[in-house]
A and B are shown apart, each in its own frame.
Chain A
Amino acid sequence: MALSRKVSLSAGAKYKGGGPMLAWVLHRISGLGIIIFVTLHVIASFFTQQFGSDLGISINIIYESIYFQLFIVFCAIFHGVNGFRIIVLDIWPRLIRYQKESTWLEWFVILPLYGLTVFIMIQRFLEG
């Protein structure tokens, strides 16, 4: 079901989709981020468990860094909450009229959850 879209990057950047478009873009980015992390983690634990090899440990160093963790926590929280919003809108299609409001509501859930998590993570990181 490949769609042919002849849209240039500049035209795409000027498209004013607002909150729902941002949610769509971030849903893709966060989904791909989770795929990258989970694939790396499965490979690393497989090599560590089966062969005790250093490959697993060197992959661990990448995703145990604080920057990767902050990114992946955002991906997990955003993808979960936004996915739940999509499911709710798909189950009750009449709510699609309020999809802009639903993206605001979603950020009211995500920002406290992510903010608190980041606070604790950075506190732990600075403690060492």
Chain B
Amino acid sequence: MRSRAMPKPSWNLDYMMWVFTRLSGLSLILLIVIGISAGLLMGARSQMDLGTLMRWTFFPNSNHVLDSEIPDLYLWANGFWQIMQILVVFFAATHGFNGLRVVIEDYSLSGFWQIFLRFLILLLWIFSIMVGIYVILGS
């Protein structure tokens, strides 16, 4: 038994996604730090409970803070936060579905099934990003 070797640095899917996984992980941590800091600055310290702040932190959508004591939503629902949400959805969905691909390919056969499952995950990825952005722009 040996561990999966690190992919060779070149323009192939495995190496590009290896790099992307690290970069998107750091980006998501950064986005979460921005979300929690901005939330605390915008009044979460006195007007929210921990659960509401956590929901805002992981996904800065104004629907997540509706049932708190925020007097009005103009700081919490605007284009800036919509862009942040789209970034979270893009990084998280790509990171997540690529992780799912890696886990599946550790256990599945190569050849037809590998291509089939990759195609299925590609479809799920595109579908979830489209639905996510649709929900963000509609909320």
Spell out A's residues near B (CB within 8 Å): 1-3, 5, 7, 15, 28, 31-32, 34-35, 38-39, 42-43, 45-46, 49-50, 73, 76, 80, 83-84, 86-87, 90, 117, 120-121, 124
Contacts and interface: CB of A to CB of B under 8 A. Distances in A.
A42 B63 CA distance: 13
A92 to B, nearest CB: 13
Contact of B135 (A31, A35, A46, A90): A46
Interface string B107-126: 11110001000000000000
Contact of A124 (B26, B29, B49, B109): B49
Contacts of B114: 2
A32 B135 contact: no
B25 A2 contact: no
A7 B106 CA distance: 13
Given A45-B135, A87-B25, A1 B7 contact: yes
A42 B99 contact: no
B96 A35 contact: yes
Contacts of A28: 103
A35 B109 CA distance: 23
Given A2-B106, A45-B135, 16 more contacts: A2-B107, A2-B109, A2-B114, A3-B106, A5-B1, A7-B1, A31-B99, A34-B96, A35-B99, A38-B92, A42-B131, A42-B135, A46-B131, A49-B135, A76-B58, A83-B29
B122 to A, nearest CB: 15
A80 B23 CA distance: 13
Residue in B32, B92, B96 whose Cβ sees the most chain A Cβ within 10 Å: B96
Contacts of A32: 100, 103
A85 B85 CA distance: 25
B60 to A, nearest CB: 14
B139 interface: yes
